Amino acid sequence: MDFVGSHIISVDQFDRGDIDRLFEVADALAPFARRERITRVLQGAILSNMFFEPSTRTRVSFGCAFNLLGGDVRETTEVKSSALAKGESLHDTARVLSGYSDVIVMRHPEEGSVAEFATASRVPVINGGDGANEHPSQALLDLYTVRRELRARGRAIDGFRIAVVGDLRFGRAVHSLLKLLALFDQVTVHLVSPPGLETPDDVVAVLQDGGHAVEVYHDLGAGIHHVDILYVTRTQEERFASPEEADRYRGLFRVNQAIYTENCEPNTVIMHPLPRDSRAQAQELDDDLNTNPNLAIFRQTDNGVVVRMALFAMVLDVVDQVQDHARPVTWYTAKRTPSG
């Protein structure tokens, strides 16, 4: 695909070459994310960050990524503080905001809403999550993390094995990630969920049509055997009809150090799109894993910044200019040391 000026709505837009190019740009931008260098390549550009659903990582890391390239960020974080609350359509909001900004990131609770918004926007729109449908930038940073973690263990994505655990029905991060994995060769995917929260058929079909091995499990221990990556997810309580319905699933699959030691191969990487539910009744990824060196969740969040910087640089066509506007950082920063 041509990234320049494009909306980024779904991972269906990418082929393997696109992913390779994006990750090359992300690697080149890492010194800027680590605060070794500073660039002002997007000085004067404005990002509208529109988040109509709760968000910490996606909202802040998109904002930081834009700032790190020298641009300014305007945020709207609630429907009630925008004119949508007065009955304004997505179409009109898009027409207006695209007059104020150079690029828009949008999260919205309805599936397909970001695509609808994008059709009326005069500037590129990046999907920050549309209901239970897709979360493309999360999948890209997850895949970037998978690639880095596997490489550090002398492995490649082709032929690797992953167990995806938890709410696979409503988890949009999982839907996007699984579709991206289908672009690689001979991946083995264990889909591990409670009955009732299985992966949608259309997502499974993408993997099967690509010739990948898909195994469905309803038992946690059996499902997490013989994999390189364990990708755990949260029960998406906001997508259930009531909190009581979500409670039926909460805490059914808890991964802790003892379960990990008993069932996983010693070097299995642990990932999670976050937030992990740390309430007593949930604890899907226990705190006792915090000292496990294979816990990659904070390397994953750090990777979110470079991958989102790469998306902006490619969509706004400044990849070749980043270094022209660069200089060393002069202030003290602990970020020069990679996080654990």
Chain positions contacting ligand ASP, by CB under 6 A: 129, 135, 138, 172-173, 233-234, 236, 273
In the complex with ligand ASP, which residue's Cβ is closer, 221 or 275?
275
Rounded least distance, CB 155 to ligand ASP, Å: 25
Rounded least distance, CB 159 to ligand ASP, Å: 27
Q: Name the DSSP class of 282.
A: T
Rounded least distance, CB 314 to ligand ASP, Å: 22
Rounded least distance, CB 276 to ligand ASP, Å: 9
- Do residues 145 and 303 make contact, with C-beta atoms less than 8 angstroms apart? yes
Q: Which ranges constitute the DSSP H helices of the chain? A: 16-33, 57-68, 90-100, 113-119, 136-152, 172-181, 201-209, 220-223, 243-247, 257-263, 297-315
In the complex with ligand ASP, which residue's Cβ is closer, 207 or 282?
282
In the complex with ligand ASP, which residue's Cβ is closer, 7 or 172?
172
Rounded least distance, CB 186 to ligand ASP, Å: 27
Print burial letters for 7-27: b (CB count within 10 Å at least 16), e (below 16): bbbbbeebeeebbebbbebbe
Residues 6+ apart with CB under 8 A from 201: none
Residue 313 CB-half CA count within 13 A: 32
In the complex with ligand ASP, which residue's Cβ is closer, 10 or 233?
233
In the complex with ligand ASP, which residue's Cβ is closer, 105 or 173?
173
Q: Name the DSSP class of 54.
A: -
In the complex with ligand ASP, which residue's Cβ is closer, 269 or 322?
269
Rounded least distance, CB 132 to ligand ASP, Å: 9
Token pair 């995806």 is found at: 164
- Do residues 180 and 139 make contact, with C-beta atoms less than 8 angstroms apart? yes
